[in-house]
Amino acid sequence: MEAKTHYEQLGGEATIKKLVDIFYDLVKQNPILSPMFPEDMTETRENQYMFLTQYFGGPPLYSEKKGHPMLRARHMRFDITREKAEAWLSCMEQALDKVGVEGTLREEIWGRLVYTAYHMQNQ
């Protein structure tokens, strides 16, 4: 029996879209993060959806549309401090809670997200 990807375990497209929507609704309300984002986050949400789909083992949507993610390079124009990384993680943690991601899957996903958030720091 083949192991399921995180994408499949999460529930695929519908769950990733819900996670992204909840996450960015929280980001909009966060005084540390909201100034970093445009008023209209339609494109931002779509990019995050494509990235997380790929990051969690689903179809390579992000790479097909935008090329290699190059996360650090793409985010270098933003001042990303430890405080901002932790605010991002806080919003993502709340989004995971609201989507109902639990157990081993939650631990595995959370470890990857924490690593990525701190890797993005450039200040």
User: What Rg value do the Cα atoms of the chain yield, rounded?
Assistant: 14
Residues of the chain above pLDDT 70, percent? 99
Burial class (CB in 10 A: 0-12, 13-18, 19+), 62: buried
- Residue 36 DSSP symbol: G
Give the pLDDT mean for 51-72: 95
Q: What CA–CA distance (Å, rounded) separates 10 from 4?
A: 10
The CA-atom distances, in angstroms, between 53 and each of 7, 14, 39, 80, 94 are 6, 10, 24, 23, 19
Q: Is the model's pLDDT at 18 over the cut of 90?
A: yes
Q: Is the model's pLDDT at 113 over the cut of 80?
A: yes
Give the pLDDT mean for 45-59: 98
pLDDT tier at 3, thresholds 50, 70, 90: confident
Q: Burial code of 14-29, b = ≥16 C-beta within 10 A, e = fewer?
A: ebbbbbbbbbbebbee
Q: Is the model's pLDDT at 96 over the cut of 90?
A: yes
Q: What's the whole-number average pLDDT of the chain?
A: 96
Q: What CA–CA distance (Å, rounded) separates 59 from 53?
A: 6
Amino acid at 68: H
Contact 73, 81 (CB under 8 A): no
* Structure confidence by residue, pLDDT tens digits, 66-77: 999 998 999 989
Q: Is the model's pLDDT at 1 over the cut of 70?
A: no
Q: Is the model's pLDDT at 108 over the cut of 80?
A: yes
